[in-house]
A and B are shown apart, each in its own frame.
Chain A
Amino acid sequence: EVQLVESGGGLVQPGGSLRLSCAASGFTFASYGMHWVRQAPGKGLEWISYITTTGSNTYYADSVKGRFTISRDNGKNSLYLQMNSLRAEDTAVFYCATNCAMCYGGFDPWGQGTLVTVSS
C-alpha cells in the first residue's frame, strides 16, 4: 500500500525552529519528486516547497524562502522540511505529497498531515 506519514509537528514559539519528516512506503520513493503543502486554519491549500528526485533542485514559495529548507534521504525513504524563524502565520497543517509524473505534475498521493502551531 502506498503511504506517506508526516511527523514532527507540534507547538513552537515565534522565532523557533521545527523539523518535519515524511516517511514513504509502498512505492519507489527515489523515483518521485516530492512536495510540502500547508493549510492554515480556515484557509486554503498553499504550496510550500518542491524537491526533485535526487534532491539536486529545490523550489520554494516566496512566503517561506530563506526560512524553510526541503531535503530528502532516498536511502531512508524520507522527506524533510526544516523550518526556522517561525511566525504565527506559519501555523497550519503541513502535508507531504508525491509529484505524480504520469499526472502532468498533479500531487498524488498525500499524507494525512501534521499540525504545526506557532504561538507563545
Chain B
Amino acid sequence: DIQMTQSPSSLSASIGDRVTITCRASQSISTYLNWYQLKSGKAPKLLIYAASSLQSGVPSRFSGSGSGTDFTLTINSLQPEDFATYYCQHSYTTQFTFGPGTKVDV
C-alpha cells in the first residue's frame, strides 16, 4: 500500500503569513493527490485536487504543486478562517490513504 507522510505535523503562523505544507508518497502517484481542510465539528473540505487544481469555491490564496512523490500545499496571506488541520490524500489506487495531517494554529 502507498504510505503518505506530511511535514511539519504542526506549525504556528500569523495572519498574512505564507504557509507551506509538504506531502510525500511512498511511491509515485503521478498527480493523483488531493488536499483537504478539516475544522473541528465541520465536514472536511476538498481544497485542491489533481495536485494543483483549485476546487470550485475555494479561495485563490490556496495553491498546490508537485508530481510523482513530492507535493506542496501553499496558503498565501493566511486568513483567520484558515486555522485548521490540513490533510493530503492520494487517489492513485483504491486504497485511498490520507496523510497524518498538519495543524496550522496561531
Contact = CB atoms under 8 A, between A and B. Distances in A.
Interface string B74-106: 000000000001010101001111111100000
A45 B98 contact: yes
Interface residues of B, number: 27
A44 B101 contact: yes
The A interface is mostly helix, strand or loop, or mixed, namely: strand
The B interface is mostly helix, strand or loop, or mixed, namely: loop
Interface in B48-78: 49-50, 53, 55
B50 A95 contact: no
Q: How large is the interface on A (under 10, 10 to 19, 20 to 34, 35 or more residues)?
A: 20 to 34
A73 interface: no
Interface of B: 1, 31-32, 34, 36, 38, 42-46, 49-50, 53, 55, 85, 87, 89, 91, 94-101
29 contacts: A35-B96, A37-B98, A39-B38, A44-B85, A44-B87, A44-B98, A44-B99, A44-B100, A45-B89, A45-B98, A47-B95, A50-B96, A61-B95, A62-B1, A100-B46, A100-B49, A103-B34, A103-B46, A103-B49, A104-B49, A105-B34, A106-B46, A106-B50, A106-B89, A107-B34, A108-B55, A109-B43, A110-B43, A110-B44
